[in-house]
Amino acid sequence: MTKVKIYVTLRESVLDPQGSAVQGSLVKMGYNEVQDIRIGKYLEVVIGDTERDLDSLVKEMCEKLLANTVIEDYRYEVEEAN
């Protein structure tokens, strides 16, 4: 079994009103150091035995469903699970 950690984030060119709202709250709380916040999604995908190449499998799933590449970028980390 392999655990894949996938991060889906809005592209740089896309405004993130949710992130801006959270940033506004933090600044209001006194954390004036905070310059920007981008909110994304984190997915843990556990993959069983497969004959397919893991990278191409994960990329395919990301591009077909998990991310919308018109507005989102994705990256992932592979972790061997027990």
Looking at beta carbons only, is 21 or 54 nearer to other proteins? 21
Nearest to other proteins of 28, 64 (CB atom): 64
Which tokens go with 59? Answer: 């990329």
Number of residues that bind other proteins (CB under 8 A): 13
Residue reference for tokens 């990256």: 75
**The two structure tokens encoding residue 1:** 């079994």
Strand arrangement, sheet containing 2-10: 41-47, 2-10, 72-80
Window of 30-38, 48-56, 59-67, 73-81 that interacts with other proteins by CB under 8 A: 59-67
Rank residues 14 and 27 by Cβ distance to other proteins and give the closer one: 14
